[in-house]
Each structure stands twice: as C-alpha cells, then as structure tokens.
Amino acid sequence: MNKADWMTGVGGIVGVLGIGVGLWWADSAAALFISASILHDGVKNLRSAVAALMDSRATTVDGSRPHPLGGAIDETLRALDWVSDAASRVRDQGHVFHVEAFVVGRDGMPTQAQLQKAWDAVTGLDWKVEDLVVVPVDELPEELLPGVRGGG
C-alpha cells in the first residue's frame, strides 16, 4: 500500500508538472501509468488470495520455490529405521503448515508407537508444523513421485 501511495503521488505530480510546461498529454500519460500500476498490484494480490484459498503448496517468503521444510520432513521420515520411503504434502495455512506425510513401512503396517515417534520427529523440526497427519501406505501416491506432474 505504501509503495502504491507514493507511486501514484509521484505520477500525479509528474502529470500536473507536464501540463504546466506545455505537455498537454502528460496528465493522460501519468493516469495511464497509475492505472497500469494499480491493475498490476490487483492481479498480483488476486493470485495470492486464490492460492491461499486453494491451500497452495508451501513456498519460501518470496514465493519463488518450495519451502525447504518439505524436504526436511521427507528426510526425517526416511531416516526412521522402519520407513523404506516417504513423501509429504506441505500446505501453507497462514503462518503455519498443514502436512500430510505418507510413509511406506519396511515390514508392513507400522505400530502405534512407531507412528507416534514419526509424528514427534516431524513436529519437532519446526514450530510451523502445527497440523500433521502421518499416513501409512503400501506405496507412495503417484502425484508425490518425482517426475510426475505436480510431484515433488
């Protein structure tokens, strides 16, 4: 908002000064610049809002890449002695994350104690992991596999 305020203020000043020095089109050009800036901000904010409503994949603060906590969760789960493979979905829900962690056990279905240790290990990684579900599966969901569209 602050950036938009000073940009529109400067644009308006430039337009009025342009008219003052005889450039009859300066005010229209400044108005076009201001409207393009407002439209750009609106589209950017709309994208952010829609992504938040859709529980988008957690990304870094600048939104340029997936949040590194997702990889750390998968590594932590794979390091457990009873896990042969693991993958997770990390969803951004404001300042905390919702995590669905899928684990494939080495010897079939894990015990309640093993699942609790997995839950403790992942929630101990970072305070952002507020909501965690550990799901034992026979094989990882296809969309979470590398090389599959949308996979990690």
Mean pLDDT of the 24-46 span: 87
Sheet containing 96-105, strands listed edge to edge, beginning at the edge strand earlier in sequence: 83-93, 96-105, 129-137
- Please tell me whether residues 45 and 98 are part of one structural domain: no
Q: Does some domain include residue 61?
A: no
Mean pLDDT of the 25-48 span: 86
- Please tell me whether residues 49 and 72 are part of one structural domain: no
pTM of the predicted protein model: 0.63
96 close to 134: Cβ distance less than 8 angstroms: no
- Please tell me whether residues 72 and 23 are part of one structural domain: no
pLDDT digits (tens, 9 = 90+) for 142-152: 777 665 444 55
